[in-house]
Amino acid sequence: MGERICNLPIPPTDVNDCRTWLHNPHDAYTSKSTYSWLSLKRIGFGPHRLYWKIIWKLKMLPNVKVFSWRIGHDILPTRNKMVFEEKDEPARIVWERAHTLSSDFRIFNMNEHPIIPQKPVYKGWKNPSKGFIKINVDAAVVDRNVGYGIIARDEDGFVIAGSYIFENTAIDVVWAELKAVTLGLNLATSLHQTKIVMESDNATLINTLKNRDKNVTILGCCVNQECESIREFDAIHFNWIDRNSNAAADMLSKLAIKNRCELFNMDYPSEIHKIIINGAIKCV
């Protein structure tokens, strides 16, 4: 303890030393005030007792409560060993403790209702802005069978055109998704549309499309080659959406594999009628 006192930094300005006692309003130390403070602290009536009352009442893992209490009282085992014993625990042990606590917390969240309820988020197809059409694309790959689904809708949710295409070839999913985007651009060109929103549920592809001018990967180069027609549009936006919001295009790609055929510029098959109607109703 003496060494630690001697190692305290000396301030650059002259300051007179003085003895203080924070647990007395007059900064005066007495054995009675010490006894009172220790007694209150032992039963949980310290200066932050209201904070700790809230912590103990929270519906959370006991381990998390104890961890918070240890942090608040500067009594983490790792910290104490370093300060008082000058021993540092291996990083692996610290990591294993943190990993165990994280796993316990995840299990707790699966078994109990979350303390802070999540806000309900609507997931589903949304209308494009006025003057735009929205083209949803998707690809399904099953063994050597590939299906592409493309569907275009206007700002009111009405289907303008759609296609599903079948191929018998070996191809990776992301490359199949890229071809679906190319087919979607071709559909927009055939409809003489200049303002489009293109949506896919493949995050890798959408990120590459958005950063196509900076992406120097093989996929980025292929995106620039496949999507040369992008320059022909007045405005084009690429959006990632979840699978539920892309249900119509997903169903079309699966129908292509199921029927092993191609249909171009169709209305829409009865299999996706319910998906289209539900999407249009929810967007009203």
- Looking at the structure, do residues 46 and 103 belong to the same domain, yes or no? no
- Looking at the structure, do residues 52 and 79 belong to the same domain, yes or no? no
Residue 4 included in any domain? no
Residue 99 included in any domain? yes
Q: pLDDT value at position 5?
A: 67
- Looking at the structure, do residues 153 and 198 belong to the same domain, yes or no? yes
The span from the CA of 183 to the CA of 262, in Å, is 13
**Helix and strand numbers, DSSP H then E, in the chain:** 11, 6
C-beta atoms surrounding 260 within 10 Å: 12
- Looking at the structure, do residues 254 and 166 belong to the same domain, yes or no? yes
Residue 233 included in any domain? yes
- Looking at the structure, do residues 202 and 171 belong to the same domain, yes or no? yes
Give 231's DSSP letter: G
Q: pLDDT value at position 46?
A: 56
Given 57, 81, 103, the domain boundary residue is 57
- Looking at the structure, do residues 93 and 165 belong to the same domain, yes or no? no
- Looking at the structure, do residues 184 and 244 belong to the same domain, yes or no? yes
Asked if 183 and 200 touch (Cβ cutoff 8 Å), the reply is no
Q: pLDDT value at position 198?
A: 95
CATH code of the domain in which 151 resides: 3.30.420.10
Q: pLDDT value at position 251?
A: 92
Q: pLDDT value at position 167?
A: 94
Residue 125 included in any domain? no
Q: pLDDT value at position 227?
A: 76
In sign, the C-alpha dihedral spanning 191, 194, 195, 199 is: positive
- Looking at the structure, do residues 156 and 278 belong to the same domain, yes or no? yes
- Looking at the structure, do residues 183 and 148 belong to the same domain, yes or no? yes
Ordered mean pLDDT values, 10 residues apiece, the chain (284 residues)? 68 64 64 70 57 69 69 57 64 75 70 61 79 95 93 90 91 92 92 94 90 81 82 92 90 92 73 77 62
- Looking at the structure, do residues 172 and 262 belong to the same domain, yes or no? yes
Overall pTM > 0.75: no
- Looking at the structure, do residues 202 and 88 belong to the same domain, yes or no? no
The span from the CA of 148 to the CA of 173, in Å, is 11
Asked if 253 and 148 touch (Cβ cutoff 8 Å), the reply is yes
Residue 1 included in any domain? no
Which tokens is 126 given?
A: 């949304």
Those residues with Cβ within 8 angstroms of residue 144's Cβ, 6 or more apart along the chain or in another chain: 168, 169, 170
Residue 32 included in any domain? yes
Residue 40 included in any domain? yes
Residue 119 included in any domain? no
Instruction: State the total domains in the chain.
Output: 3
Q: pLDDT value at position 57?
A: 75
Q: 165 is in which domain, residue-wise?
A: 133-282
**Cα-based angle 168, 169, 171 (whole degrees, multiple of 5):** 140
- Looking at the structure, do residues 177 and 77 belong to the same domain, yes or no? no
The span from the CA of 132 to the CA of 181, in Å, is 17
